[in-house]
Amino acid sequence: MALKYADRLDQIQPFRVMKLLARANELQALGRPIVHMEVGEPDFPTPQVILDAGRRAISSGLTKYTPAQGIPELRRAISTFYQTQYNADIPSERIFITAGGSAALLMATALTMNVGEGLLMSDPGYPCNRHFLTTLGAHAELVPVSADTGYQLNRALIANNWRKTSRGVLLASPSNPTGSVISRAGMVDIADEVSSRQGHLIVDEIYHGLDYSDEKLHSVVEISDHCIVVNSFSKYFGMTGWRLGWMVVPEFAINGVEKLAQNLFICPSSIAQYAALAAFSDEGRAEMDRNRSAFKQRRDYLLGALKALGFGIPIEPSGAFYIYARLPEGSANSEAFCHDLLERYSVAVTPGTDFGHFDADHYVRFSYAQDIELLRQGVKQLKQALTT
Ligand SMILES: Cc1ncc(COP(=O)(O)O)c(C=O)c1O
């Protein structure tokens, strides 16, 4: 009997970076030290106060199902966070705790998209978003973006690319892979354009907190009550493996998201939720802010070093922990470049083709979620690759 999985899986590409990571680990197991500049998670451990709170949750038996929307204490803590961080009044009824930003993105797309409809998003962009849509019978409507618009969508791009099937727009600010940020004024324009088309606006803010410019980063909740915001404890809060995130939804969506949360997940991890209560403590925030300073220092170093090696980085990335760089003149296409760099020079980076199609062959993504001394070593080996 020849069993075959559903056709929709043919539309879902595997993460190329995972194959690269597997090969990097294989080489490492054979005794070859590899400089990892491909990974998308902080190298810092989860802050100590969160670890302690997680242990306490286990020993107190807080290991049962929780409400589908998440525990009220954590939703209230996030509501207070919006007040202190963004001066925004978000009632905890509009906040859902989710299994990472991933579950929030899945529910945001399930909430808004009918079969055959599309969501405008930037190319390059975070690849899983396209695949959430495919899984639901909807599709991504990719809009090429370049340095000209700061690697982000703007009002004009949305207006010019809106189709009959378009149902909304999905943005990430700061973005993966480019680290670019949408200004408050830019976001006001976008929210206005999308609303004039009766579209949904979904904004992924999971790299908030990891922003390095002197200008304050604004959340779209300050601008509109009608958009859907996705956030996560993975990146700034350093909790990737705990699988915890949240979403802020408009009033009209509360019942719908509750149904999705109940049916798709029952609830987020209880232990992770109780641990995350400590994430907003002064001690927790102090540790996260120290980590953020280290990221900034690494970004500044790597930016200079890559430019000196001939990589094209026309816009300084102001958030996340990535640099999306154009390959120096004369370098082969990005997948061949990454393959060669790993096999011959022991440095792992991600090919641009993981993030879309537009000009992707000429780009690679460097992650600086790695100790600065290792980054220096990586740059040394990169230099050899480019000069030999
Ligand atoms: C832009 C973006 N959104 C969402 C996610 C999902 O992260 P998580 O599910 O760990 O919150 C990632 C992970 O790298 C990401 O880069």
Supply the mean pLDDT for the chain.
95
Using CA atoms, how far residue 85 sits from 95, 100, 102, 219, 277, in Å, is 16, 21, 23, 9, 16
Whole-number Å distance between alpha carbons of 367 and 94:
33
Q: Which residues have a Cβ under 8 Å from the Cβ of 180 and sit 6 or more positions away?
A: 150, 151, 152, 173, 174, 315, 317, 318, 319
- Residue 135, pLDDT score: 94
Pocket mutation for ligand 1, best pick of 17, 96, 102, 244 (most atoms within 8 Å of C-beta): 102
> 16 vs 91, which has greater pLDDT?
91
**pLDDT tens-digit profile of 200-248?**
999 999 999 999 998 889 999 999 999 999 999 999 999 999 999 999 9
- Residue 349, pLDDT score: 96
| Dihedral sign (CA 91, 95, 97, 102) | negative
Residues paired with residue 122 on neighbouring β-strands, in sequence order: 143
Please enumerate, as own/partner, the contacts of 250-259 that have beta carbons within 8 Å and a separation of 24 or more: 250/94, 250/225, 250/226, 251/94, 251/225, 253/111, 253/228, 254/93, 254/94, 256/111, 257/96, 257/107, 257/111, 258/68, 258/69, 258/96
Q: What are the residue boundaries of the structural domains of the chain, listed by start?
A: 12-45+284-387, 48-281
**pLDDT tens-digit profile of 262-280?**
999 999 999 999 999 999 9
- pLDDT beyond 90 at 251: yes
Ligand 1 proximity of 368 Cβ (cutoff 6 Å) = no
Shortest-distance Cα residue to atom 7 of ligand 1: 101
Ligand 1 atom closest to the Cα of residue 245 is: 11
- pLDDT beyond 80 at 1: no
- pLDDT beyond 90 at 14: no
Q: What is the 3-state secondary structure (H, E, C) of the chain?
A: CCCCCCHHHHHCCCCHHHHHHHHHHHHHHCCCCCEECCCCCCCCCCCHHHHHHHHHHHHCCCCCCCCCCCCHHHHHHHHHHHHHHHCCCCCHHHEEEECHHHHHHHHHHHHHCCCCCEEEEEECCCCHHHHHHHHCCCEEEEEECCHHHCCCCCHHHHHHHCCCCEEEEEEECCCCCCCCCCCHHHHHHHHHHHHHCCCEEEEECCCCCCECCCCCCCCHHHCCCCCEEEEECCCCCCCHHHCCEEEECCHHHHHHHHHHHHHHHCCCCHHHHHHHHHHHCHHHHHHHHHHHHHHHHHHHHHHHHHHHCCCECCCCCCECCEEEEECCCCCCCHHHHHHHHHHHHCEECEEHHHCCCCCHHHEEEEECCCCHHHHHHHHHHHHHHHHC
CATH topology (fold) of 12-45+284-387: Aspartate Aminotransferase, domain 1 (3.90.1150)
- Ligand 1 mean position to 106 CA, how many Å? 11
Shortest-distance Cα residue to atom 13 of ligand 1: 40
Per-residue pLDDT band for 353 (boundaries 50, 70, 90) equals: very high
Ligand 1 proximity of 354 Cβ (cutoff 6 Å) = no
Tokens 């922990």 -> residue: 321
Whole-number Å distance between alpha carbons of 185 and 192:
11
Cis peptide before 174 (omega within 30 of 0): yes
Ligand 1 proximity of 127 Cβ (cutoff 6 Å) = no
Ligand 1 atom closest to the Cα of residue 126 is: 1
Q: Which of 108, 118, 88, 42 is nearest to 321 (CA)?
A: 42
> 2 vs 327, which has greater pLDDT?
327
Ligand 1 proximity of 206 Cβ (cutoff 6 Å) = yes
- Residue 29, pLDDT score: 93
Note the residue count of the chain: 388
- Residue 308, pLDDT score: 96
Phi first, then psi: give them for residue 301, nearest 5 degrees: -65, -50
Ligand 1 proximity of 317 Cβ (cutoff 6 Å) = no
Q: Which of 285, 302, 286 is nearest to 370 (CA)?
A: 302
Pocket mutation for ligand 1, best pick of 18, 122, 126 (most atoms within 8 Å of C-beta): 126
Whole-number Å distance between alpha carbons of 181 and 211:
9
- pLDDT beyond 90 at 12: no
Other CB atoms within 10 A of residue 115 CB = 8
Q: Are strands 95-98 and 245-248 parallel, antiparallel or unpaired?
A: antiparallel
- Ligand 1 mean position to 30 CA, how many Å? 30
- Residue 245, pLDDT score: 98
- Ligand 1 mean position to 153 CA, how many Å? 19
Q: Which of 215, 209, 213, 262 is nearest to 231 (CA)?
A: 209
Per-residue pLDDT band for 17 (boundaries 50, 70, 90) equals: confident
- Domain 48-281, CATH among 3.30.500.10, 2.60.40.10, 3.40.50.300, 3.40.640.10: 3.40.640.10
Whole-number Å distance between alpha carbons of 253 and 279:
27
Which tokens is 223 given?
A: 């601008």
> 15 vs 230, which has greater pLDDT?
230
- pLDDT beyond 90 at 171: yes
- Ligand 1 mean position to 344 CA, how many Å? 30
Mean pLDDT (whole number) for 114-124: 98
